[in-house]
Amino acid sequence: MSLNHKKILLGIGGGIAAYKSAELVRRLKEHGADVRVVMTQSAMEFITPLTLQALSGHPVASDLLDPAAEAAMGHIELARWAELFIIAPATANVLARMQAGMADELLTTCALATASPVVVCPAMNQQMYQHPATQHNLKVLGERDVHIWGPNSGSQACGEVGPGRMLEPLDIARRAAAFFGDKPLQGQKLLLTAGPTHEAIDPVRYISNHSSGKMGFAIATKAAEMGADVTLITGPVNLPTPPGGVKRIDVQSAQQMLDAVMAQVNGQDIFIGCAAVADYRIDKIAKTKIKKTAETMQLALVRNPDILAMVGALADKPFTIGFAAETHDIEHYAKDKILRKQLDMIAANDVSTPGQGFSADTNALKVFWPEGCEELPATDKHTLAGQLLGVIARVKKEAR
C-alpha cells in the first residue's frame, strides 16, 4: 500500500502523545506522502515546530492570525490542499472544540474549512476518554463522517492503565495508505449485526453477555472504507456510529434484531452476523419490578430465534458469514455451524484466550468456508476487520 504523492495534513493537539508525531511524519513520508503540519499552541509545549519542519520539509503552521499567511488566506489554502486531514493526537479538548464547530485555532479552523476526509486519533487519560462528554463528542463526530482511529488500551504516561493511548505511528500510516487503496467492496451492499442483545426480565433487569460490539463496529468501519454500502444493526453498545455513511439501526432484544434484519436483508450482497445474540429470553416478562423477597428465584426461558440460520435459509440469501465465539473444539463447532445454518463462511475465535474476544481491543480469527480455511493471527480489531473483509471479498468472487 502506497501514499505516493498523496497530500496529507497532519494536525497535532497538545497532549503527551505529540512526541509520536515526529515518527508519524516520518512514517507517512516513507509511504510516499507529502506531509504538512498544523499545530495547536499547546502542542508546541510538547514538541517543537522546528523538529516537524525538518522531518516534513515544509514550514509548520500554528498561528491563525499570522499576517503573512492570512494575506493569502493560509488556513483556507491548507484546508484546500489536503487530500486527507489526520489529527493525531486528538486530545479531549480538540475533540470538544471540533464537535462544537469552533474555529478558535488554526487546527480547528482547518477542520471546518476542509472538504477532505478528516481522521481523529484520540489520545488522553483513560478516565477522560471514558467520560460521557468525550464519548458524546466522538459519537457526534462519527455521525458527521469524521473517521475515528483508535484509541488503543494500555499503560499511560500518568501511570494509569486503560483506553486512551494513541495508535502507533506505523499503524496510522498503514491505515492512511489503506484509505487510498483498492476498494474491493465498491458497490456492494453489506448488512451487519453487532453487539449483544438485552432480554428483559422485568422493567429494570435483563439477560445479556459480555459483547462490547467492538469487532462488529470495526468491520462496519472498514467495510465502508473498502467501498461498501453498510447497514449496521446493533444491540446496546457505547460506541459511536462508524463514519463513511454507515446506516445505523439500534435494537435491544433478539426479536427486535431479527425484525430489523428481515426488513433490511432483501437486496443485500453480504450479510455478516457478528452480534452475540442471547440464546434464550424470559418466557413471561414481569410488568413490574420483581421484589427481592425469596432466597431463590426460578426463571422460565425460551429459545430466541436463530437470526443467522434464518438468513441462511432464505432462497435468495446474500453471501452469509457467521461468527463462532467458542472456548474449545473451535474447528469442530465452526464447521458444524456452517452446515447447520447453511452459511457460506464462518469466522471463529477463542474467547477463552486472554486479551482477545469480548471487550478486548484485539482479536484473532480462524475463517472457514466449504473449500478452505485461513487463520488470521491476533492483532487490533480494525486491522483484523480489514483482513477478514479481504478474505470475504476474495472467496465471494471465487464462488461466482
Helix axes 106-113, 92-100, angle to 10 degrees: 50
DSSP state of 355: T
Return the number of other C-beta atoms located less than 10 Å from residue 207's C-beta: 17
Cβ atoms of 324 and 347 closer than 8 Å: yes
Rounded to whole angstroms, the Cα distance separating 10 from 84 reads: 9
Amino acid at 184: P
Is 274 annotated as catalytic?
no
Cβ atoms of 6 and 83 closer than 8 Å: yes
Helix axes 106-113, 74-81, angle to 10 degrees: 50
Residue 192 phi/psi, 5° resolution? -140, 140
Instruction: Look up residue 218 and give its three cell numbers.
Output: 470495526
Cβ atoms of 9 and 86 closer than 8 Å: yes
Of 225, 235, 231, the closest CA to residue 267 belongs to 231
Of the residues 121, 158, 274, 373, only one is catalytic, namely 158
Contacts of the segment 336-339: beta carbons below 8 A, 24+ positions apart:
338/368, 338/369, 338/370
Residue 297 phi/psi, 5° resolution? -140, 135
Of 177, 176, 164, the closest CA to residue 138 belongs to 164
Listed in order, strand segments (DSSP E) in 46-134 are 84-90, 118-122
Rounded to whole angstroms, the Cα distance separating 136 from 89 reads: 18
Core vs surface per residue 215-224: b (16+ CB within 10 A) or e:
bbbbbbbbbb
Cβ atoms of 52 and 37 closer than 8 Å: yes
Cα 26–chain centre separation? 25
195 — alpha (psi -120 to 50), left (phi > 0) or beta?
left
Cβ atoms of 257 and 194 closer than 8 Å: no
The residues that are catalytic are 158
